[in-house]
Chains A and B, each alone.
Chain A
Amino acid sequence: MSMTGHRTMLYSALLLLPATVLLWVFTYQPIFTTILNSFYSTPRGRRPSVFVGLENYETMIADPIFWKAMTNNLIYALTTIPFSIALALAMALLVSANLRGKGLMRMAFFTPTVLPMVAVANIWLFFYAPDYGLIDKFLGLFGMGGNNILGSVETALPAVIAITVWKEAGFFMIFYLAGLQQISPTLIEASRLEGAGFWQTLWRVQIPLLMPTTLFISINAVIGAFRLVDHVVAMTKGGPDNATTLLLFYIYQNGFAFWDTAYAAALTVVLLAILAAIALFQFGYADKRVHYR
């Protein structure tokens, strides 16, 4: 290789260095360490960690709380994702129409997104509070008061789900709004002229043309469903009786409340595997199907 060839190589390597260092230190190295740690025991006091093979994973399979967290997370994902996407689309359709005060509506729908999740959780704590809470007060008018929404096994998870939908929908609405504005108005006119009403136009024209946006949003929603636990920490701490324990919260609990870092590492590996599988599916399979051009 010539002198200039070496030079170019050196320059490229130097230019890539900062990004490589950051990626290695904060992404890849932790992943490898986590995978490695998941095969070792947790060091305690004077006992150093030892190689235990798949013992942590065996514990996991036998752990009912792990399965509870998985089930909860599945319910959480399967409800928050479709509900927030549908709500986002409905809100986007509403504020893209030529209505009076649509600017105000856009702002109102978007506000929950701007608020920090912990602040949101605290607002909703008041809504959900028994007796003096907004919802319980309202139900009390019909003689159905006295509910501890966050304190009951049946209602705690739905309550947490409702907050997530409320918070995420406004964010997704922005993407749908941009997507809707990309659709040529003559396509809508053509559809109406051909006899399609509002629902037919929505189903046959707008939704298919919004599929790239929907894919993007659903990736974000899936990641959100496994990543958002601030409100669980602030409101229920996984309770009552693990009714609101999500996978990431369970990892946090094991790692930083019980200090069982090896078990937390094994749980993290499972979470990473789930997210990787979803990402592969979305980019490999769904991506090919939604791009119509």
Chain B
Amino acid sequence: MARIRVQNLVKAWGDFRAVDDIDFETNDGEFVALLGPSGCGKSTTLRLIAGLDQATSGQIFIDDRDVTQVAAAKRNLALVFQSYALFPHLSVADNITFGLSVRGVPRAERERRLEKTASLLGVTALLGRKPSQLSGGQQQRVALGRALISEAPVCLLDEPLSNLDAKLRAEMRNEIRTLQQRLGITMVFVTHDQTEAMSMADRVILMKSGKVEQCGTPAELYENPASTFVAGFIGTPPMNLVAAAPKDGRLAVAAAASSDLVLGVRPEHIEFAGEGQEAVVAGSEYFGADTVVACRIGEQKLMVRVPGRPGLGTGAQVRLAWAPSNEHAFDARSGLRKSA
């Protein structure tokens, strides 16, 4: 069991700060997602925790032990690389036991743990093969095996699913989650895919330009986004963010696209109703279970997600309504949430 604590962590290359003064803490056995668009510093943060890069300043603690200056191999953690980094000249068995053999674990012990790990991951039949003879999903399992056999209390995963096809990705998502809960280890994984983060993680750390934008449970990020960035990043399609004007103690969509107030409302929370703001249908996308209808109010565009097929053609007149509790107000200049 282990907790990771990151304090005032900075990684700079010249004037560019890839990781800019971030703080967060994970709990024992927690599954944490580092989420963000590419170039936001999430992978760099993971590399700093792993010890593959040296922090410019700040500290990293694992179980209250300051590991900032400790070599990667001595931090008692495992890492699954995005490219898997399997040794092409070694068999699956030798790849998995590489760390044990390097650390001089006796052969009998190695074989016992190999057997256990291989059956856990379902790669027993592949032990004699070389990495080039494996499919992407199998390579992923072997990479996981190499990380898990060390029995380190912390396991870091860098974009673990990005090299897999859609079907396999959904399967592995489940499997990694199950493994993490079964083994009770702390897992931190990097992803740019918000559905991955939302569906797998206990807690999501959303990053932007080297800073932590919001840190919380998936539900917190979805229900109470701290900024327009979070609101626009989480959800498919993301939250509608439009210029707003106060009206009767609530917010209404302003006709003009500029205002110092931003209204946020999720597409799935808007409905076509008998009364509400008037809008014109500008187009729609049909997904089977639901349809996303693009509507226009003056210069502004809103997405509306409705179940089934609403049968609205372009140019149809509709009225949009949503519950007051689904209304989010943000400051237009800072992008931050306005407390009610």
Contacts of B51 in A (CB 8 A): 193
**Chain B CB within 8 A of A227 CB:** no
Q: Which of A189, A204, A209 contacts B88 (CB 8 A)?
A: A209
Establish whether residues A195 and B102, one from each chain, have CB atoms under 8 Å apart when the complex forms: yes
Are the C-beta atoms of B89 and A194 separated by less than 8 Å?
no
Can you list 11 A-B pairs, Cβ within 8 angstroms, ordered by A?
Answer: A186-B83, A189-B81, A190-B85, A190-B146, A193-B52, A193-B78, A195-B102, A196-B102, A204-B87, A208-B90, A292-B89
Please determine whether B102 and A186 come into contact, CB atoms closer than 8 angstroms.
no
Beyond the given A186-B83, A195-B102, please list 5 additional residue pairs across the A-B interface where CB-CB is below 8 A.
A189-B52, A195-B73, A209-B87, A209-B89, A292-B130
- Answer yes or no: A213 CB below 8 A from chain B CBs: no
> Which residue from chain A places its CB closest to the CB of B53 in the assembled complex?
A189
| Minimal beta-carbon separation of A149 from chain B (angstroms) | 43
From B130, B132, B146, A194 is in contact (CB under 8 Å) with: B146
Q: Give the residues in chain B near A184, CB-CB below 8 Å.
A: 83, 85
A193-B50, A193-B79, A194-B146 in contact; A187/B73 too (CB < 8 A)?
A: no
Task: Tell me if A102 is interfacial: C-beta within 8 Å of chain B.
Answer: no
Chain A residues whose CB sits within 8 angstroms of the CB of B102 once the complex forms: 191, 194-196, 200, 204
Distance in angstroms between the alpha carbons of A187 and B85 in the assembled complex: 5
> What residues of chain A lie closer than 8 Å to B72, measured between beta carbons?
189, 192-193
Q: Which of A186, A195, A211, A293 contacts B85 (CB 8 A)?
A: A186
In the assembled complex, the Cα of A140 lies from the Cα of B116 at a distance in Å of 67
The answer for the CA separation of A205 and B321 in the assembled complex, in Å, is 63
A window 273-293: CB within 8 A of B: 292-293
Determine if B333 is an interface residue (Cβ-Cβ < 8 Å).
Answer: no
B132 touches A195 (CB 8 A): no
Interface residues of B (CB under 8 A from A): 50-52, 72-73, 78-79, 81, 83, 85, 87-90, 98-99, 102-103, 130, 132, 146, 150
B85 touching A189 by the CB < 8 A rule? Answer: yes
Binding site of B, secondary structure by majority: helix, strand, loop or mixed?
A: loop
Across the A-B interface, the 10 shortest Cβ-Cβ residue pairs? A194-B99, A190-B85, A292-B89, A195-B73, A186-B85, A208-B89, A196-B102, A195-B102, A193-B72, A195-B103
Q: CA–CA, A191 to B51, complex, Å?
A: 13
Minimum CB–CB distance for B68 against chain A, Å: 16
Contact pick for B81, options A190, A195, A209, A293, CB 8 Å: A190
Min distance, Cβ A194 to any Cβ of chain B, angstroms: 4
Cα-based distance from A200 to B130 in the complex (angstroms): 21
**Residue in B78, B99, B130 with the greatest tally of chain A CB atoms within 10 Å:** B99
Least Cβ–Cβ distance between A73 and chain B, in angstroms: 33
Chain B residues closer than 8 Å to A195, beta-carbon distance: 73, 99, 102-103
What CA separation (Å) do A196 and B89 show in the bound complex?
16
Distance to closest chain A CB from B147 (angstroms): 9
Question: What chain B residues lie within 8 Å of A192 (beta carbons)?
Answer: 72-73
Complex contacts, A204 vs chain B, CB 8 Å: 87, 98, 102
Residues of B within 8 A of A292 (CB): 88-89, 130
Contacts of A293 in B (CB 8 A): 88, 130, 132
Cα distance, A292 to B72, chains bound together (Å): 28
Residues of B within 8 A of A208 (CB): 89-90
Residues of chain A from 246 to 293 with CB closer than 8 A to chain B in the complex = 292-293
Instruction: Name the residue among B50, B52, B130, B132 with the largest chain A CB count within 10 angstroms.
Output: B52
Q: Which A residue's beta carbon lies closest to that of B156? A: A193
> Which B residues lie within 8 Å of A190 (CB)?
79, 81, 85, 87, 146
